Amino acid sequence: MEMYWDIIFELKMELSKIEAVSNNTIDQVEYAIGHCKIALEKLRKLVVVKGFPDRESEILFFKEIKPAAYGRLLYYQLVFEIESKRRNADVMLTKRYLQNCLYKINEFMEKRHLKVQYYRCGYKHLDEQYFLRSNAEIPLELKDSRELLDEAFFTWHDHTFSVIMANEMLLDYLGKEIEKLENPGNNNVNGANSSYLWCGKKIDLAELIYALHYAKMVNGGKTTIRELAGMFGQLFGVELSKDIYRFHAEIQQRKIDRTKFLDFLRSVLQQRLDEDNE
């Protein structure tokens, strides 16, 4: 599966250069959309040519790898739509429009709360039903979509997970844009212009923060969780503080692999050390 992950890593590296492309948001988003499409096409060709060695690999691809590219594509397409519509609008109208977008996303996530919980908590008990192509059903909203023309590269819930990922990224984006409108003289409140890009999920960073806190690695444990979340959030340009306790609840609710991000880091480091010894 390394070839698949390499494509995602390459995509993240290209997206980290987005601010160097242009100062114009539309130009930045068009650049991002282009690279997301390139990554998806590379993934599709690999799937068609190489396939998967087993069911576990197929599940991993459609549950995590494809959404890492497709979710970002959906996100940047939505940002493009929002930025196009808000052009030349006054502050009050723009704020109302962004708040309406926020409401619609939250409404969508609430109606699909069971799928959102499955995504956020890392559940696995329905993976074979959700992420194997042999079990794929056609979602009503995709009946006329071109996505369905390529059955070798589609499952229902890789689409669902991609939409959830895009929505979570969009919630961050909308929150920052509304905050800029409310605090026009302080547009870097949450490190929005940070030069460091966090390429994982926000809950992954929260898992790392809680581990450091419980191990008393920062100021001997005297720094609070919210302070740590603010510090890491400012470093990586993400808003963590308001959701840091919710992330704790989600991590705690995991039936298995509670520390899956820390386990992933350990396995990556171990593999690289083993390779360096060869």
pLDDT tens digits, 197-220: 787 788 899 999 999 999 999 988
Instruction: Report the C-alpha gap between 247 and 250 in whole angstroms.
Output: 5
By C-alpha distance, which of 172, 144, 153 is closest to 72? Answer: 172
Given this model, what pLDDT does residue 141 score?
Answer: 52
Residues 203 and 177 in one domain: no
Work out the mean pLDDT of the chain and round it to a whole number.
Answer: 85
Residues 126 and 203 in one domain: no
Residue finishing a domain among 171, 187, 203: 187
Residues 53 and 151 in one domain: yes
- CB under 8 Å to 117, separation ≥6 — which residues? 123, 253
Given this model, what pLDDT does residue 41 score?
Answer: 95
Given this model, what pLDDT does residue 174 score?
Answer: 85
Domain count, the chain: 2
Percent of the chain scoring above 90 in pLDDT: 37
- Give 122 or 67, the one with higher predicted confidence: 67
Instruction: Report the C-alpha gap between 89 and 82 in whole angstroms.
Output: 12
Instruction: Report the C-alpha gap between 142 and 136 in whole angstroms.
Output: 12
Residue 186 has pLDDT above 60, yes or no: no
Residue 223 has pLDDT above 60, yes or no: yes
Model confidence at 55, in pLDDT bands (50, 70, 90)? Answer: very high
Residues 140 and 278 in one domain: no
Residues 177 and 199 in one domain: no
81-85, 183-187, 266-270 — which is least confidently predicted?
Answer: 183-187
Given this model, what pLDDT does residue 189 score?
Answer: 45
Residues 118 and 244 in one domain: no
User: DSSP secondary-structure letter at 254?
Assistant: -
Residues 126 and 264 in one domain: no
Q: What tens digit of pLDDT does each residue of 101-147 get? A: 988 888 888 888 888 888 877 788 999 989 998 865 555 555 455 54
Given this model, what pLDDT does residue 72 score?
Answer: 95
Instruction: Report the C-alpha gap between 130 and 132 in whole angstroms.
Output: 6
Residues 33 and 165 in one domain: yes
Given this model, what pLDDT does residue 67 score?
Answer: 94
Average pLDDT for 67-96: 91
Q: Which domain holds residue 113?
A: 1-187
Residues 136 and 258 in one domain: no
Residue finishing a domain among 187, 205, 238: 187
Residue finishing a domain among 157, 187, 217: 187
Q: Are 154 and 138 in contact (CB under 8 A)?
A: no
Residues 40 and 103 in one domain: yes
Residues 139 and 20 in one domain: yes
Q: Are 46 and 3 in contact (CB under 8 A)?
A: yes
7-11, 42-46, 79-83, 109-113 — which is least confidently predicted?
Answer: 109-113
Model confidence at 6, in pLDDT bands (50, 70, 90)? Answer: very high
Residue with tokens 């390139």: 38
Residues 44 and 176 in one domain: yes
User: DSSP secondary-structure letter at 64?
Assistant: I
Model confidence at 35, in pLDDT bands (50, 70, 90)? Answer: very high
Q: Are 241 and 231 in contact (CB under 8 A)?
A: no
Given this model, what pLDDT does residue 102 score?
Answer: 86
